[in-house]
């Protein structure tokens, strides 16, 4: 058995791998190695969204229900960060509570038992958290796995997790032949300014409340949102008088495009308020977004969609010439707060 360093964590199912150690968060300098391991994993799994250190720092600065000193474990091998696992929990708009496990492992370090150790730790920590909270909501463990990650799927199945739903990444390969779709009567699209940002965000928060397993949006989410979208000019927002009816938060990431050698815009978030649904608003917003991206020099567009979306979003996007490229699965596991894992810290 490999000797433990003085500050090593005692992990469940710890594998005997030379040079391996698990440790706690030391501070934001850790994000450099974490982001690099995350990007290596993404490249291996075919995830095209780039990890941006600035964005990762922003996210980790505004975590609602995650104490980084207790809820994050970093895996190192020979002094290099090779992976990590972070846990948190969220109350949902449907009255439930979910406990999330986010794990990253460098592809070169897979199939050594490290993933099992990280997963077991996260389950144990989340059960401790669940036991410390009021027992006022039903809850379960939740994680998202890329379907290209066969090893992770086998690991989760072996540990009693089950697949619930699937999400899809979609791409419109060209921005040719964009449909001319009229806006519904009484609705207009106009440029927005920083003054509009908060009420647009609040309108979107209300619109998403009836979506599947939607989290309660918090002030921490608002703080992150402001930094994630510094440029409002690509947005396409529809108004009904003074009310925000729906919109799309479009973005263009020059670093991501340079990394992949392309010019692609992203329809990051597509939403319509409840009173304006079933009137063709989303279709009109998508058509306008594609024009906006094309006018800014983009040659393709991307978005993602929950395959279990009850508002027929998948059919809408397929009808606008988007194609499925990759997918991810939503995995769940029942949680019993009193069922602690031996050795979890």
DSSP of 111-130, one letter per residue?
TSSHHHHHHHHHHHHHHHHH
> What percent of the chain stands above pLDDT 90?
90
Confidence class for position 217, pLDDT limits 50, 70, 90 = very high
How far does CA 30 lie from the centroid of its chain? 20
Among 118, 136, 165, identify where a domain stops.
Answer: 165
Q: How far apart are the C-alpha atoms of 1 and 236, rounded to whole Å?
A: 58
Q: Is the pLDDT of residue 255 over 90?
A: yes
Considering the domain architecture, whether residues 42 and 123 belong to the same structural domain is answered as: yes
Q: How far apart are the C-alpha atoms of 226 and 60, rounded to whole Å?
A: 14
Q: How far apart are the C-alpha atoms of 134 and 91, rounded to whole Å?
A: 12
Over residues 60-81, the pLDDT tens digits come to 999 999 999 999 999 999 999 9
SS3 at position 293: helix
pLDDT of amino acid 310: 67
Considering the domain architecture, whether residues 37 and 154 belong to the same structural domain is answered as: yes
Q: How far is the CA of 166 from the CAs of 146, 163, 214, 230, 272, in angstroms? A: 10, 8, 15, 30, 22
Considering the domain architecture, whether residues 86 and 55 belong to the same structural domain is answered as: yes
Considering the domain architecture, whether residues 65 and 131 belong to the same structural domain is answered as: yes
**Range with lowest mean pLDDT among 61-65, 205-209, 339-343:** 339-343
- Residue 279 tokens read as 């009137």
Confidence class for position 40, pLDDT limits 50, 70, 90 = very high
pLDDT of amino acid 70: 96
Task: Please compute the mean of the pLDDT values over residues 159-175 and round it to a whole number.
Answer: 96
Nearest Cα to 343, choosing from 169, 25, 122, 63? 122
Task: Please compute the mean of the pLDDT values over residues 137-150 and round it to a whole number.
Answer: 96
Residue 331 maps to a domain: no
Considering the domain architecture, whether residues 148 and 272 belong to the same structural domain is answered as: no
Over residues 79-108, the pLDDT tens digits come to 999 999 999 999 999 999 999 999 999 999
Task: Please compute the mean of the pLDDT values over residues 178-184 and round it to a whole number.
Answer: 95
CATH of residue 212: 3.40.630.30
> What percent of the chain stands above pLDDT 70?
94
Cβ neighbours for 67, distance < 8 A, ≥ 6 positions apart: none
What average pLDDT does the structure give for the chain? 93
pLDDT of amino acid 311: 66
Q: How far apart are the C-alpha atoms of 322 and 74, rounded to whole Å?
A: 38
Q: Report yes or no: 168 and 304 within 8 Å, Cβ to Cβ.
A: yes
Residue 343 maps to a domain: no
Task: Please compute the mean of the pLDDT values over residues 200-206 and round it to a whole number.
Answer: 97
Q: Is the pLDDT of residue 6 over 80?
A: no
Q: Is the pLDDT of residue 196 over 60?
A: yes
Confidence class for position 341, pLDDT limits 50, 70, 90 = very low
Residue 330 maps to a domain: no
Confidence class for position 337, pLDDT limits 50, 70, 90 = low
Residue 173 maps to a domain: no
Q: How many domains does the chain have?
A: 2
Confidence class for position 344, pLDDT limits 50, 70, 90 = very low
Residue 339 maps to a domain: no
Considering the domain architecture, whether residues 244 and 298 belong to the same structural domain is answered as: yes
Task: Please compute the mean of the pLDDT values over residues 162-169 and round it to a whole number.
Answer: 95
Domain range for 71 is 20-165
Considering the domain architecture, whether residues 184 and 266 belong to the same structural domain is answered as: yes
Residue 325 maps to a domain: no
Question: What count of residues does the chain have?
Answer: 345
Residue 242 maps to a domain: yes
Considering the domain architecture, whether residues 148 and 249 belong to the same structural domain is answered as: no
Q: Is the pLDDT of residue 187 over 70?
A: yes
Side-chain half-sphere exposure of 58, counting CA atoms within 13 A: 15
Q: Is the pLDDT of residue 307 over 50?
A: yes
Considering the domain architecture, whether residues 202 and 116 belong to the same structural domain is answered as: no
Q: How far apart are the C-alpha atoms of 50 and 311, rounded to whole Å?
A: 29
Entry pTM: 0.90
**Range with lowest mean pLDDT among 1-5, 200-204, 224-228:** 1-5
Over residues 225-245, the pLDDT tens digits come to 998 899 999 999 999 999 999
Task: Please compute the mean of the pLDDT values over residues 157-167 and round it to a whole number.
Answer: 96
């Amino acid at each position: 058995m490999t000797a433990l360093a003085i500050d090593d964590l005692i992990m469940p199912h710890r594998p005997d791998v030379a040079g391996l150690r698990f440790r706690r968060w030391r501070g934001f300098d850790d994000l450099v190695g974490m982001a690099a391991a995350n990007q290596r994993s993404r490249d291996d799994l075919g995830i095209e969204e780039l990890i941006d250190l600035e964005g990762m720092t922003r996210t980790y600065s505004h975590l609602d229900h995650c104490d980084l000193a207790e809820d994050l474990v970093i895996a190192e091998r020979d002094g290099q960060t090779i992976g990590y696992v972070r846990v948190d929990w969220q109350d949902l708009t449907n009255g439930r509570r979910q406990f999330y496990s986010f794990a990253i492992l460098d592809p070169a370090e897979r199939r050594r038992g490290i993933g099992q150790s990280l997963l077991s730790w996260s389950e144990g920590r989340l059960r401790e958290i669940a036991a410390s909270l009021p027992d006022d909501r039903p809850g379960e463990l939740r994680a998202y796995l890329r379907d290209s990650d066969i090893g992770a799927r086998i690991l989760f199945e072996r540990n009693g997790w089950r697949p619930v739903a699937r999400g899809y990444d979609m791409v419109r390969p060209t921005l040719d032949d964009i449909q001319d779709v009229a806006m519904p009567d009484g609705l207009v699209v106009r440029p927005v300014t920083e003054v509009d940002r908060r009420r647009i965000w609040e309108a979107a928060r209300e619109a998403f409340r009836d979506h599947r397993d939607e989290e309660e949006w918090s002030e921490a989410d608002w703080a992150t949102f402001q930094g994630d979208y510094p440029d409002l000019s690509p947005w396409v927002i529809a108004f009904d008088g003074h009310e925000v009816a729906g919109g799309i938060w479009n973005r263009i990431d020059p670093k991501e495009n340079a990394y992949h050698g392309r010019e692609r815009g992203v329809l990051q978030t597509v939403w319509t308020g409840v009173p304006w649904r079933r009137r063709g608003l989303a279709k009109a917003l998508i058509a306008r977004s594609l024009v906006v991206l094309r006018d800014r020099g983009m040659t393709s567009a991307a978005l993602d969609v929950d395959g279990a979306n009850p508002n027929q979003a998948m059919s809408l996007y397929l009808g606008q010439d988007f194609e499925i490229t990759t997918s991810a699965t939503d995995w769940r596991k029942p949680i019993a707060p009193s069922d602690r894992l031996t050795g979890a810290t």
